[in-house]
Amino acid sequence: MTTELRVLQRSGWDEWYGKLERAFGGAAEAPEERELWEQLTETERSIGAWDDGECVGTAGAFSFGVTVPGGAVVPAAGVTMVSVAATHRRRGVLTSMMRRQLDDVRAWGESLAVLTASEPAIYGRFGYGIATHQMSLEIDSSRVRIAQPPGADADALRLRFVPPEEAVKECEAVYRRTVGTRPGMLERRPGWERLPLLDPPGERGGGSPLQCVVAERDGDVAGYVRFHNKPDWTPAGPDGSVVVRNIDALDPAAYAALWRFLCGIDLTSRVTAHNRPVDDPLLQLVSDIRRCGVRVRDSLHARLVDVGAALGARTYRAPVDVVFEVEDAFCPWNEGRWRLSGDAKGAVCERTADAADLALSVRELGAAYLGGVTLSALAGAGRVRELRGGALAEASLACGSDVAPWLPHGF
Ligand SMILES: CC(=O)SCCNC(=O)CCNC(=O)[C@H](O)C(C)(C)COP(=O)(O)OP(=O)(O)OC[C@H]1O[C@@H](n2cnc3c(N)ncnc32)[C@H](O)[C@@H]1OP(=O)(O)O
C-alpha cells in the first residue's frame, strides 16, 4: 500500500477532522467543541495521509511555548489529532506521518515536540519519553479537612460565584502568572483561553453546567476554581460530588480557601480532580491523605528534536559537565556524543569527540528533560548506563526540578 502525505488545506478540515473523530470511536463532538478545534487547528502544520482519494491518516502540530526548568518558555510542536483509519491500521501509516512530522518540526527550528498519548505504548518508538505525570484525586470530603496555612488571614479573602465567561480575563491573568513557575506548563496563545470554558452538556457526566468561584483580596482575583456539581441522593441522604475542572491560585491562602470551599459544599461528600501536579500543595493541607484516592498516570510525552538546542534551552539546578552518548535511530542527526555544561544560570550543549560519561537514548533525555523523572531512576531500570563513576549522580541532580513538571490541560 502506498499513501501520500499532504499538508492540510483549510477547505479539507471538515473531512480530515471527521476521519479523526471516527478513529476515536465515531461519536460527533458538540458543535462548540468542533468549532473551537477548527479555529485552533494550524492547517499549515497539519498533514493528512491519502489513499487513492481517501483521507486515512491525520496528524497536527500546534505552535506551543512550554515552560522548561529555569522558567524559560521554549517553542515546541504540540503533536495532536493523530489517527489512522481502522481499515489501514498497522501498515506503517502512523510511522510515515511521524517521520514527516519530525522532519518538519526540525525544519521549523523547534527543538522539542510534546504530546499526550491516547495509549502510552505508542510513541516511545519515535523517541518520546514520559516527562510529566498527573495526579487524580477522589477526596472523601465528609472526612477530610483542609488546613488553613499558618498566618493566613482567611477573612481577607472574599469568595464569589461568577459566570465562567465573565471571569475569563481575570482567571487567565492568574494562569499566565503561574505558567513560568512550573516546567511543563503551556503558554496559552490567543484563542486557547476558550478551551477551559468548553462545557458541552454531553461531557458533564450528569453534573451541573460549569461553575466558577473566584477568590478576591482587596478586589483583585488571587485564585479561581471551575467545577461541576453533581447531585446524588441515596436512602441515607445526599451524596453529591464536586468535579474540579481547573483550580489556580497565586498564594497558599487563596489556594487553601478554594479547596476548603470545594470540600464544604452542602449536599456533597466527594471532590474529584483528574489532573493535578504530583506535588500539589493540597497534599500538605489535607488531614487524611489515605482518604484522598490518589492515583498517578503519565501525562506529557516529550521528544528532543534537536538535542543540543533543547538541552541548552533550560537551566540546571546544580553545576553539570557531562558527555552523553545519545542513541536516536529515528532522528539520526541527534546520534553521537554531546557535552552538556551548565548550571542554574544557563547551559550549552555541543557536539564533542570526548569520551562519553553516560549512554542513553533520546527517549530517556525526553523523559528527564522537564526534571520530573530522574536519570538515576532511569538508570535503575537499565535505561541509562554510567560510563564514568560519579557522572550519573552529577547529571541526575542537575537535571531534576524542585517543582514537579505538570501539563495543566490536554490538547
Ligand atoms: C498525540 C495523539 O493524538 S494520540 C492519539 C493516537 N490515536 C489514536 O489512539 C486513535 C486510534 N488509533 C489509531 O488511529 C492507530 O491505531 C494509531 C495511530 C495509534 C497507530 O497507527 P498505525 O498506522 O496502525 O501505526 P503503524 O502501523 O505505523 O505502527 C507502528 C508501530 O507502532 C505499533 N503500534 C501502533 N499502535 C499501537 C498501539 N496502540 N499500542 C502499541 N503499539 C502500537 C505497531 O504495532 C508498530 O510496531 P512495529 O513497528 O514494532 O511493527
Q: Which amino acid is at 353?
A: A
387 lines ligand 1 (CB under 6 A): no
| Residue-level pLDDT at 116 | 98
Q: How confident is the model at residue 380 (pLDDT cuts 50, 70, 90)?
A: very high
Output the CATH code of domain 306-399: 3.30.1050.10
125 labelled ligand-binding: no
Tell me: pLDDT of 28 over 90. Answer: no
> pTM score > 0.80 for this model?
yes
Cα gap 59→101, rounded to integer Å: 8
Cα gap 389→379, rounded to integer Å: 13
- Ligand 1 atom nearest residue 115's Cα: 1
Asked if domains 4-130 and 134-297 share a fold, the reply is: yes
Q: What is the pLDDT of residues 75-96, one digit of tens each?
A: 999 999 999 999 999 999 999 9
Of the chain, the percentage scoring pLDDT greater than 70 comes to 100
Handedness of CA 115, 121, 124, 126 (dihedral sign): negative
Q: What is the ipTM of this complex?
A: 0.98
Tell me: pLDDT of 319 over 90. Answer: yes
Best of 46, 89, 98, 123 to mutate for ligand 1, by most ligand atoms within 8 A of CB? Answer: 89
Q: What is the pLDDT of residues 324-368, one digit of tens each?
A: 999 999 999 999 999 999 999 999 999 999 999 999 999 999 999
Average pLDDT over residues 153-181: 96
Of the chain, the percentage scoring pLDDT greater than 90 comes to 98
Q: Give catalytic residue positions.
A: 123, 411
249 lines ligand 1 (CB under 6 A): no
Handedness of CA 143, 146, 150, 151 (dihedral sign): negative
The answer to whether the CB of 247 falls within 8 A of the CB of 263 is no
| Residue-level pLDDT at 155 | 87
* Residues in a beta bridge with 116: 300
46 labelled ligand-binding: no
Residue 225 CA to ligand 1 center (angstroms) comes to 36
**Residue the block writes with cell 518508538:** 125
- Superfamily the domain 4-130 falls into: Gcn5-related N-acetyltransferase (GNAT) (3.40.630.30)
339 labelled ligand-binding: no
Tell me: pLDDT of 1 over 90. Answer: no
Contacts (Cβ under 8 Å, ≥6 apart) of 157: 215, 216, 217, 222, 253, 254, 257
Please state, rounded to an integer, the average pLDDT across all residues of the chain: 97
| Residue-level pLDDT at 152 | 82
Average pLDDT over residues 397-402: 98
| Residue-level pLDDT at 78 | 98
Ligand 1: which residue has its CA nearest to atom 33? 122
Return the H-helix or E-strand segment holding 49: strand 47-51
Ligand 1: which residue has its CA nearest to atom 35? 122
Q: What is the pLDDT of residues 107-162, one digit of tens each?
A: 999 999 999 999 999 999 999 999 999 999 999 999 999 999 998 887 899 999 99
Ligand 1: which residue has its CA nearest to atom 18? 83
Residue 392 CA to ligand 1 center (angstroms) comes to 33
Q: How confident is the model at residue 2 (pLDDT cuts 50, 70, 90)?
A: confident
Can you name the CATH fold of 134-297?
Aminopeptidase (3.40.630)
Residue 122 CA to ligand 1 center (angstroms) comes to 6
- Ligand 1 atom nearest residue 97's Cα: 28
122 lines ligand 1 (CB under 6 A): yes
Q: What is the pLDDT of residues 279-288, one digit of tens each?
A: 999 999 999 9
| Residue-level pLDDT at 193 | 94
| Residue-level pLDDT at 335 | 98
| Residue-level pLDDT at 237 | 97
Q: What is the pLDDT of residues 223-250, one digit of tens each?
A: 999 999 999 999 999 999 999 999 999 9
94 labelled ligand-binding: yes
Task: Give the closest residue to 61 by CA, choosing from 114, 134, 132, 21.
Answer: 114
Q: How confident is the model at residue 19 (pLDDT cuts 50, 70, 90)?
A: very high
Domain ranges of the chain: 4-130, 134-297, 306-399
